[in-house]
Chain A
Amino acid sequence: MSNLMNRIVPAILVVNFICSCSASLSQDEFKDSRTSDRPALHAIQDQELRELMDRMNGLMLERFMTEHEMDVVRGKYTRQIIATAITLQNTAGHLVNKIPHLNLTTDEENAFRGLADKLSQYATLLKTQAEHDAFNAIPATLHEMKSTCAACHTLFRQF
């Protein structure tokens, strides 16, 4: 009995130690990104897009500008949305380049890549909607982008 205990207990200890180390390693991998106070570029661009949509919606509340004057300002905001969407596309592409530096498992890599690709697709959709003046569809696209960001942050970055 004592011999069995002499073998089992150390084995249990080793296994326990390995689990603790791997968990703490995982914790350390993301430590820098978690504790950094600097917002990521894609978060800045997402905020810019929301502000632009709010300003565009605010035009409907104006009483003194003519409809054509509002169309001109709307066009200006549309061009800004398109430019920001293009920038967000590029930023989402750069996210994928970070994968080798994150020491993720295969499943985690696939999940990260999938979410980054999804963000890029929504940015492309946003650009297309703005180019075709489909303003009513833009809030839904921004909502989907927000959900994608939340899913990725839940999995890979604690805020």
Chain B
Amino acid sequence: MIIRYSILLAILLAGGLPNKACAEQDLRELVVQLTDQVKALQSQIAKSNARIDDLEQKLIRSTAEQQLSATDAATTQPQPDRIPVMQSAANGNTKAAVSAGDIKGALKIPGTATSIGFGGYVKLDTLFSSSSVGNDKLGNQRLEVAEIPVGTTPAGESDQISMHAKESRFWIKALTPSQWGDMTTYLEFDLFGDSAAYTYTPRLRHAYGSLGNLLAGQTWSTFLNSQAIADTLDNSNSVGSLLTLRQPQIRWTQPFSFDGLAMEWQLAAEAPRSRVWDARNQTMTTLSASHYPDLVARLNLNPDWGNISLAAMGRQLLIRPTELNVEKTVWGGAVNLAGKINTFGSDNIRFMLGYGDAFGRYAVNNFFADGTVNGSGEFDTLVGYSSMLAYQYWWDKAWRSTVAYGFAGADQPGFAGNANHQAQSVHANLLWSPFLQTTIGLEYIYANRELVNGQNGELQRVQLSTRFNF
């Protein structure tokens, strides 16, 4: 008997020991009980909220009654002068409340269909440079590869520190729906209008309007894909980023889709300008007159995973040698492939590849000519090429980094001894945005510049920047 009950007891214990299945059953029951309690709490909260709403309504009615009583008391007093009193809200004439606009960050102008918004940011750049590029030069405030000292000629003190807030920016935008499509206007300014270190002159960046698919005014060249510009602290961005060129233009944009893929083509006529290196007097001439605008065509692909563009440009270069009183022209062109491709999460790759024989002023700011005149007075185009590759990595929602490499070169003729042959740059940064309206970051910049005659120079820089949006 004892043995039998011992065996039974052992079986009982084996079945009754706290096993995983029983514990799980208990957990399920506990969760169901908690769920019931949460439902009861939710019901109680709903009743409390209803009571609060009721009390608020009573308070509003009470306040309104008090205001009316005060107004009645004032109007019954004898008025010393018969001065006409304008209608006011206290007498019951309410004015239309301002409502949100049809675009982000905008308000609708009361009584109109126009939405208007403004904003901008304040940015401070602190630059620790390995060498100065000269007194009151833009190259001390942002990367200007054309100003990097070459050879042994010093341009200023070494180990320079400079601080400025010139990238601070203000913009204003508006949108009005119409039967012809949305009419938009946009103005944007910064303070880079003067190269002197502590002179802040407003500079127009963008000034354009658009109606439906037609745009007219000054904005990014259609040749440039602004989505592909790397996220650097440096205002000039990487070599190979196509100069971040803005110029007056007329542009037509036509969306369409192909096999379910959203696309658009763009055609633009843009302000012409010819930069020509004349070997006879070793000077660079920039002429804004021409018989034809710069013509640009671009195809954009807008898949879910990013944005790709292919642009082609045709332009006429023109010079007017004063001693001959004749003008010379030559046609040239360029192509640019650029884009932004999403990789993992918010990470992305940005790239630009450009090539052409009239690429000069589009490639790097004041670095290459568009064409050259040799000792015999022959005018020809200059083949140039550039590339930029950047990867943006998000450590988490607040921290991000970009590493960008850029290169630009030109097949300079042998007689252009002092002309720029090539340049390259590296940007690497760590940026912190504790919330979306603020960015604080540190960036390392390396750049070098090489002339046709073999002279070269390099620049190293650490930039600390703060940016506060409004």
Contact = CB atoms under 8 A, between A and B. Distances in A.
B345 A54 contact: yes
Contacts, number: 102
Contacts of B307: 73
A54 B400 CA distance: 12
A73 B1 CA distance: 84
B176 interface: no
Contact of B119 (A54, A55, A67): A67
A37 interface: no
Contacts of B400: 61
Given A24-B21, A111-B35, A62 B231 contact: yes
A2 interface: yes
B408 interface: no
Contacts of B431: 61
A27 to B, nearest CB: 6
A60 B21 contact: no
A109 B396 CA distance: 38
**A interface: dominant SS:** helix
Interface stretch (A10-18, A38-46, A92-100, A117-125): A10-18
Interface in A1-38: 2, 5, 9-10, 12-13, 16-17, 19-20, 22-24, 26-27
Q: Report the interface size class on chain B.
A: 35 or more
Interface in A117-135: 133, 135
A2 B5 CA distance: 10
Interface in B204-232: 206, 210, 219-220, 226-227, 229, 231
Interface of A: 2, 5, 9-10, 12-13, 16-17, 19-20, 22-24, 26-27, 51, 54-55, 57-58, 60-69, 71, 73-74, 76, 80, 107, 111, 133, 135, 154-155
Given A9-B9, A64-B226, 12 more contacts: A13-B8, A19-B25, A23-B24, A26-B21, A27-B21, A54-B394, A63-B121, A64-B229, A65-B227, A66-B186, A68-B210, A133-B104
Interface of B: 1, 5, 8-9, 11-12, 15-16, 19-22, 24-25, 28, 31-32, 35, 103-105, 117, 119, 121, 171, 173, 184, 186, 188, 206, 210, 219-220, 226-227, 229, 231, 237, 244, 262, 302, 304, 307, 342, 345-346, 394, 397, 400, 431, 433, 436-437, 439, 467, 469
